[in-house]
Each structure stands twice: as structure tokens, then as C-alpha cells.
């Protein structure tokens, strides 16, 4: 195996298009990180084939803060240790719905349960939130993005670019590279830590979500323009999970040679 870097941080986004949070550890299943893109709100106004309300339509969504009511129960499957003791490849039991109860903190300080009709009304949604055990991602269930790519984009724009704009699950420190080195992982199998294996499918095509400041929701179209004009519209990569497990910041990222 060939080492290509390490995990700088691990992120999940409990509600599609809302604020994400960094994690000390995360269970990565076949459907993505446990609790990642667990909910999404629907909209009859969205394009056919893409029924979700996102920051593309309501930019302030990225500043809304989802939080688990029982955060300590939302990170790992309840029987993970027992399942691993029986067989390292055994799929653990799903987390109980009550352990994944969620509420959302709005910028004005209100705290609403994820299924509160008032929350859907704030978003102009046409019904209660959709819930899926598989991450409600646009493409594949996990995404990777290097710190060096963010730095490269910042150099091209002449100012810092916040990596959080790219809403990745795994931010990688690919030390010694000049940015976009993760592109070379496409088509390869990557091991993260001791167990998690991801087949990197392709580069990540970018949309207007990367124009949004993660703290304010303000738009900066120069970021998307630069990615479109100088990087064919791609930044970062996405993949499918081949082997489940736990990932933590600092974990090594290695390419499985010959895979």
C-alpha cells in the first residue's frame, strides 16, 4: 500500500445543505457516515429528479445548526464492539431512531425539532423532512477533499478559501502536493485508518453550493467561476464504501496497490 496523506478532519452534515460539524470519530457504513445527510427537505419547485430544498435556493440554510439530542449515541452503532468481536466484517445493528433524534438551531435562536412543521414552513418545504439511513448525497455517499486543494484555489484567487465551502466528509492533508492531488485517486481503492476502504469513483462536479460562505451564507461566485474555468468544474473526489469501520482525525490514507 502507498501512503498518500492523513485525515485532517472528519465531518458530517445531519441535514442536507445545513451546517456540518467536525467529529472526533465517525462510523463509516456502506451508506456513508452514520448520521450524515440523514434528513432532507423536499420542494415541489426543485428540478425534476432532484426534489430537495438546498442552499442553492435558500442560501442561509448553510448557517442553520442541526444537533443531535443524544449526541453520544449518534456516533457509533450500539453493538459495534460486540459485532467486531464476533467478526471484523460483521455489519453492526442499526442505531435506534430515538438515538438519532435531531433539532435545528436557527440564526434567531429558535430551536425546532426536525419534524416540527414550523421548520418545514421556514424552508417553504412541501411536507415533512425525508429521512434515509443512506446519506442523501447528490452523488456517492462519501467525499474527500484535500487541504492543499483549498490552498491552491486560494492562491489562484489571491485570498484564502475556506475548505468548509466544499462540504466534504474527509478533509485530507496530502502534504507535499500542490493541490488537486486527490484527483489521482479516482478509480482506486483507498484505505483510511485500520479498516475503512473506499473506492474513489470520480472527481466531484461542483455547483453553486461552493459559492456560499459557511458562516454567513453570503455568495462569492468567484470561487465557482475559478473551479469551472481552471479545473473543469471539479474539486475533490467522491466514492463508495467497500469496507465499513471507524475513522478518526490523524488516520493514515493509503492507496491499495493493484486494486
What pLDDT does residue 87 have?
Answer: 87
* First-to-final CA distance of the chain: 10
Compute the distance between CA of residue 94 and CA of residue 170 in angstroms, rounded to an integer.
22
Pick from 185, 224, 220: which is nearest to 202 by CA? 185
What pLDDT does residue 48 have?
Answer: 65
Interval 233-246: pLDDT, tens: 999 999 999 999 99
Q: Which residue has the higher pLDDT, 85 or 234?
A: 234
Length, in residues, of the chain: 259
- Count Cβ neighbours within 10 Å for each residue of 140-159 and write b for 16 or more, e otherwise: bbbbbbbbbbbbbbbebeee
Mean pLDDT of 156-162: 97
Pairing state between β 102-105 and 196-205: unpaired
Helices (H), 42-94: 80-86
As its CATH architecture, domain 2-255 has Beta Barrel (2.40)
Average pLDDT for the chain: 94
Report pTM: 0.95
Query: Distance of alpha carbon 201 from its chain centroid, rounded?
Result: 15
Question: What burial class does residue 210 get, using C-beta atoms within 10 Å of its C-beta: 0-12 exposed, 13-18 middle, 19+ buried?
Answer: buried
Compute the distance between CA of residue 83 and CA of residue 89 in angstroms, rounded to an integer.
8
Residue with cell 479498516: 195
Amino acid at each position: 500500500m502507498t501512503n498518500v496523506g492523513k485525515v485532517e478532519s472528519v465531518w458530517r452534515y445531519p441535514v442536507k445543505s445545513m451546517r456540518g460539524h467536525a467529529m472526533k470519530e465517525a462510523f463509516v457504513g456502506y451508506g456513508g457516515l452514520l448520521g450524515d445527510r440523514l434528513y432532507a427537505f423536499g420542494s415541489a419547485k426543485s428540478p425534476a429528479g432532484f426534489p430537495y430544498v438546498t442552499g442553492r435556493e435558500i442560501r442561509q440554510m448553510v448557517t442553520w445548526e442541526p444537533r443531535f439530542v443524544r449526541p453520544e449515541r449518534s456516533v457509533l452503532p450500539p453493538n459495534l464492539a460486540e459485532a467486531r468481536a464476533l467478526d471484523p466484517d460483521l455489519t453492526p445493528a442499526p442505531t435506534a431512531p430515538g438515538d438519532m433524534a435531531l433539532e435545528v438551531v436557527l440564526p434567531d435562536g429558535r430551536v425546532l425539532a426536525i419534524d416540527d412543521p414550523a421548520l418545514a414552513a421556514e424552508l417553504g418545504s412541501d411536507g415533512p423532512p425525508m429521512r434515509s439511513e443512506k446519506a442523501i448525497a447528490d452523488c456517492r455517499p462519501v467525499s474527500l477533499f484535500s487541504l492543499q486543494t483549498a490552498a491552491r484555489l486560494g492562491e489562484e484567487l489571491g485570498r484564502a478559501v475556506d475548505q468548509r465551502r466544499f462540504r466534504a466528509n474527509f478533509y485530507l492533508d496530502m502534504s507535499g502536493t500542490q493541490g488537486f492531488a486527490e484527483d489521482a485517486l479516482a478509480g482506486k481503492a483507498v484505505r483510511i485508518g485500520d479498516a475503512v476502504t473506499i473506492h474513489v469513483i470520480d472527481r466531484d462536479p461542483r455547483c453553486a453550493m461552493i459559492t456560499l460562505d459557511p458562516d454567513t451564507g453570503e455568495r462569492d461566485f468567484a470561487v465557482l467561476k475559478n473551479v469551472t474555468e481552471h479545473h473543469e468544474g471539479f474539486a475533490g473526489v467522491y466514492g463508495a464504501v467497500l469496507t465499513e469501520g471507524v475513522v478518526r482525525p490523524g488516520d493514515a490514507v493509503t492507496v491499495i496497490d493493484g486494486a
